[in-house]
């Protein structure tokens, strides 16, 4: 289990595309590891729960879950138990992704649980206000992603730079230890460079790399301007 | 991937107990396989998503998921995609467990999806009426479990035999191909025998075996009266 | 409190349009009552919870809720309690509308609750299969509405007549006392006539009337071909 | 429509008890108004949606909703639209009550919506951390209620005074304009006095008054020590 220890960081969200499921997921994780090794860049992959064990056995980069449920061990059939994900090899998790929004008290509980288990917490948010709220709960990362730009190919760092800057500013005033990531629409080295210049410490992205014709080339381009 | 092809069947729901997570889950699955081999009885295990790959690589009995989300491949971060669970080794899934109740349209979609993928569908229900409703959707199994008896140690086959009988009767009138399982409070061979005499074709159970001091002995006793 | 006692029936879903909120809702309910009186046609309105009391005091046609929660009286802050809606003047409710989908066990509980309170139950469904499932739970009405046609202006009775016919057929085989309504895309007298010819006993509709320039004229046209 | 303009304030949550439904709700609201008039104390009632219109027509104290959905006007059958609640007479709303927990982004949207409509926002929270998060979203009030004490008769002001003090402290450091209320287990004048001494500006309570043999006497006692 390898956590995210340095920034800048790229977190690649595999979502539930067939292109990033099962054997395809393993291949994409290996490509991510290769680019990380070649460039010295920190790259983490966030994969579907059934793929965590297999991938974490075969690659040496951080493997994150996509979701943890706010439950303790016991009678919770069908829930994602943090302890189970960790034992399978997850070193952290996305929390409150726009495709899996959570209740406020659940976000609080999950952050506490990951901290207790030594796992990274990456809370996704939709605007400056919810980013500030999330920062008070002391996660490792807040990834701000205006929902209208997710999967759009239009990078938030260009379309709404004030959202990224505003998030960085408010989070630094609340808790400077929380790192800001920039999500939504990121796919190129230019996008990532812009995101970093706005004060973020990395990016969270998915389709721009996952669905690229050549994911390795796309990933190499992504980190090429930093 | 090994589906459930014969009845009577025992489905062991691992839930999210630490006693049935990770390495403990693997051990329990091996015990289940051993008892299945020794007795010739059909035993399937329903395990947490992160444990499916590892367990299905190591045992030769049906491994079920505990939950599938009603989503198609794509942008559904944090969801349980049927295709991913299947590739990891799941040959079927619980649906609508009392700890993970689903919307009516979702149950319909998931049953259709599992049928398309050649996976077993086991819909959990809470009474005769919802069992009838579930049966119209053509799952492989309906497991009727009055919620007040789950984890109680009081077997439904004794406390409310009329629920099991009524479910068997109504389901046979709607769709005789749907098999009825009996859940809630089952833990001994006597309980299982009673369940079968009421017309069910097997049992779904959890804590009675998972949390037993000696799960192997408990499992051997469970199938000893049939 | 006036229940729906005869068919054919038109149920007008006010949804949460400003055009059918508060005073606008009251006006629309009065128009509905006027058309009902003039034509002898059964017209019911399904209005937002805060508007039920005021409207039911002023019109003499059935006033339905849009949703009831599956809760008993007690500590359920923010829930829609059946007893409260009934005392405010609701004589029935929509259940499981495509914009408020419910869990299977909730649909069962709500139908039982409405039956006990003498209220009409109108379960909305999305296809033939879920219509059959709903019918086993013995509601008064099943309103089948393929979600892709809701608000489309394309009537289900023309676009997918086989869904209406199939629903009528399967429901009659399961429980002939359950009446089938036809929803989704209905707005004209032609649509309603087609719906009736396919075997339904009425329609559930919203924007086609609510957002019409002249709702009274639209409603008169709707019932003109029967 | 009368908003909460002064503190200390008592907000009486009617929940979904039959004792505070329909005519009973109206009577309880009149008692609350009487005590408010006699003592000069600010008392607001938070009532079920179907009861808002009737009660707000008959009493001259603030009437709050128990829940608003994070939706805009349109196609949202069964949702609680802010505009509808306001037109019916609600001058504010509870948000995120422990019996109706909401997603983080929804709390943000609802607070913005109430501010825009001139309605009071009262966000309920379960601990110091989520209170801080809520305060960043600029509601009028945060009502902290440890869930284990709700309805217990054990006042949070005595059982966990550090939660109230901690909440007051952290909220004042984040946004001094947000007022803190104290909930959970409050029922007597002593409880309320203790709550005020810990820095809160009022209480949110339910069963202690609603289910009292003599609600008027209970309410008079509640405000007697301030």
Q: For residue range A124-162, what is the model confidence (pLDDT) as tens digits? A: 999 999 999 999 999 999 999 887 777 677 877 778 888
Does A40 contact B at CB distance below 8 Å? no
- The Cα–Cα gap between A88 and A82 comes to 10
Chain C contact for D77, CB < 8 A? yes
Cβ of D16 within 8 Å of Cβ of C53? The answer is no
Range of the domain at D84: 9-222
CB contact under 8 A, A100 and B77: yes
Which of B105, B123, B135, B163 to substitute to test the interface with C, most C CBs within 10 Å?
B105
Q: How many CB pairs under 8 A join C and D?
A: 149
The whole-angstrom separation of Cα B135 and Cα B22 is 34
Q: Is the pLDDT of residue A51 over 80?
A: yes
| pLDDT above 90: percentage of residues in chain C | 84
Cα distances from B154 to residues B157, B162, B185, in angstroms, run 9, 15, 5
> What one-character-per-residue DSSP string does D23-77 give?
HHHHHHHHHHHHHHHHH--EEEEE--HHHHHHHHHH--S-EEES---S--SBS-T
CB atoms within 10 A of CB D25: 25
Which chain C residues have a beta carbon less than 8 Å from that of D24?
A: none
pLDDT at A176: 94
C66's CB contacts (< 8 A; 6+ apart) are: C13, C14, C15, C46, C47, C48, C49, C93, C94, C97, C100, D77, D78
pLDDT at C9: 96
Mean pLDDT on A52-72 = 98
Quick check: D167 contacting A, CB < 8 Å? no
Two tokens at C100? 């408020």
Residue B4 lies in a domain: no
Chains B and D touch (3+ CB pairs under 8 A): no
Task: Look up the pTM and report it.
Answer: 0.96
Is some CB atom of chain C closer than 8 A to the CB atom of B45? no
Is B1 a domain residue? no
- With beta carbons under 8 A apart, name residues in chain A contacting B65: 50
Distance from CA of A136 to the nearest CA of D (A): 6
Provide the 3-class DSSP secondary structure of residue B199.
Answer: coil
C184 touches C160 (CB < 8 A) = no
pLDDT of residue C152: 74
State the Cα–Cα distance between residues A216 and A29, nearest whole angstrom.
10
In a domain, A3, yes or no: no
Q: Which residues of D touch A125 (CB under 8 A)?
A: 104-105
Q: Which residues contact residue B118 at a Cβ distance below 8 angstroms, ignoring those fewer than 6 apart?
A: B3
pLDDT, residue B148, reads: 77
Distance between terminal CA atoms of chain B? 26
Which among D108, D126, D133 has the least Cβ separation from residue A136? D133
- Region C62-82: mean pLDDT is 98
Please list every residue in chain A whose beta carbon sits closer than 8 Å to the beta carbon of residue B63: none
Residues C216, C217, C221, C224, Cα dihedral to 10°: 70
Give tens-digit pLDDT for A73-91.
999 999 999 999 999 999 9
- Domain-located, residue B154: yes
- The number of beta carbons lying within 10 Å of the beta carbon of residue D175 is 15
Is D145 labeled as catalytic in the residue annotation?
Answer: yes
Residues C101, B101: C-beta atoms closer than 8 Å: no
Choosing from D67, D97, D109, D160, the catalytic residue is D97
Contact yes or no for B136 and C132 at CB 8 A: yes
Given an 8 Å threshold on Cβ–Cβ distance, is D103 in contact with A105?
Answer: no
* pLDDT at position B65: 98
Q: How many domains does chain C have?
A: 1
Please choose, from the candidates C194, C126, C128, the residue with its C-alpha nearest in 3D space to the C-alpha of residue C159.
Answer: C194
CB contacts of B90 in chain A (<8 Å) are: 50
B208: in domain: yes
Of all residues in chain B, what percent are helix, strand and coil, respectively (each to 5)? 45, 15, 40
Query: Catalytic residue at B76?
Result: no
Answer whether residue C2 is part of any domain. no
> Radius of gyration of chain C from Cα atoms?
16
Nearest chain A alpha carbon to D134: A133
DSSP D216: H
Q: Does some domain include residue A96? A: yes
User: Which residues numbered 87-116 in A keep a CB inside 8 Å of some CB on B?
Assistant: 87-88, 90, 94, 97-100
Q: What angle do CA D50, D56, D60 make, to 5 degrees?
A: 155
pLDDT category at C99 given cuts 50, 70, 90 is very high
Q: Supply B33's token pair.
A: 């396989």
Question: Which range scores top for mean pLDDT: A176-185, B17-26, D157-166?
Answer: B17-26
C147, C75, A82: which is closest to D208 by C-alpha? C75
Residues C154, C160, C163, C164, Cα dihedral to 10°: 60
| Chain D environment of C17 (Cβ under 8 Å) | 73-75
| Cα separations in angstroms, C90 against C82, C101, C124, C210 | 9, 20, 18, 20
Choose the mutation target among A95, A133, A172 for the interface with D, i.e. most D CBs under 10 Å.
A133
Q: Do B104 and C125 make contact, defined as CB atoms within 8 angstroms?
A: yes
ipTM attached to this prediction = 0.95
User: Using an 8 Å Cβ cutoff, are D74 and C15 in contact?
Assistant: yes
Residue C158 to residue C193: CA distance in whole angstroms:
11
Judged by a CB distance cut-off of 8 A, whether residue A83 touches chain B is: yes
Residues D77 and D83: their CA atoms lie apart, in Å, by: 14
Q: Please, what is the average pLDDT of chain A?
A: 94
pLDDT level of residue C185 (50, 70, 90 thresholds) = confident
Q: What are phi and psi of A7, to 5 degrees?
A: -125, 160
CA–CA separation, A108 and D104 (whole Å): 10
Interface test with B, best of C104, C107, C125, C139 (most B CBs within 10 A): C104
Task: Indicate the range of A129-138, C2-11, C94-103, D158-167 predicted with least confidence.
Answer: D158-167
What confidence tens digit (pLDDT) does each residue in C110-158 have? 999 999 999 999 999 999 999 999 999 999 999 998 877 777 778 777 7
List Cβ neighbours of C56 (8 Å cut-off, separation of 6 or more). C1, C63, C88, C89, C90
Instruction: Provide the pLDDT for residue C146.
Output: 81
The pLDDT profile of chain D, 226 residues, written as one tens digit per residue, is 799 988 999 999 999 999 999 999 999 999 999 999 999 999 999 999 999 999 999 999 999 999 999 999 999 999 999 999 999 999 999 999 999 999 999 999 999 999 999 999 999 999 999 999 999 999 999 999 887 777 677 877 778 888 899 999 999 999 999 999 998 788 899 889 988 999 999 999 999 999 999 999 999 999 998 8
Q: What is the CATH number of the domain that holds D192?
A: 3.20.20.70
Residue C1 domain-assigned? Answer: no
Q: Closest residue of C to B135, CA-based? A: C133
pLDDT given for residue A186 in this prediction: 85
Question: Nearest chain A Cα to D98, which residue?
Answer: A105
D182: three-class secondary structure by DSSP? strand
Please work out, in degrees rounded to the nearest 5, the angle formed at the alpha carbon of residue B103 by the alpha carbons of B79 and B83.
Answer: 35
How far does Cα D13 stand from its chain's mean position? 6
Q: Find the catalytic residue in A97, A129, A148, A169.
A: A97
The sign of the CA dihedral C111, C114, C118, C120 is: negative
């Amino acid at each position: 289990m390898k956590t995210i220890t340095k920034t800048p960081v790229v977190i690649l969200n595999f979502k539930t595309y067939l292109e990033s499921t099962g054997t395809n997921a393993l291949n994409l994780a290996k490509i991510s590891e290769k680019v990380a090794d070649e460039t010295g860049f920190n790259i983490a992959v966030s994969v579907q729960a059934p793929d965590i064990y297999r991938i974490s056995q075969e690659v040496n980069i951080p493997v994150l879950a996509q979701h943890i449920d706010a439950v303790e061990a016991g009678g919770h059939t069908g829930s994602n138990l943090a302890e189970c994900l960790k034992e399978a090899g997850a070193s952290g998790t996305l929390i409150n992704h726009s495709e899996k929004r959570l209740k406020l008290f659940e976000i609080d509980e999950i952050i506490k649980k990951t901290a207790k288990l030594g796992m990274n917490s990456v809370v996704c948010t939709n605007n400056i206000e919810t980013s500030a709220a999330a920062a008070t709960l002391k996660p490792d990362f807040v990834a701000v992603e205006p929902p209208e730009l997710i999967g759009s190919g239009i990078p938030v760092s260009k379309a709404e730079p004030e959202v990224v800057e505003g998030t960085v500013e408010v989070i630094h005033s609340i808790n400077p230890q929380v790192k800001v990531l920039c999500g939504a629409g990121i796919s190129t080295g230019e996008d990532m460079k812009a995101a970093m210049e706005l004060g973020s410490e990395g990016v969270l992205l998915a389709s721009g790399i996952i669905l690229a014709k050549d994911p390795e080339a796309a990933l190499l381009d992504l980190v090429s301007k930093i």
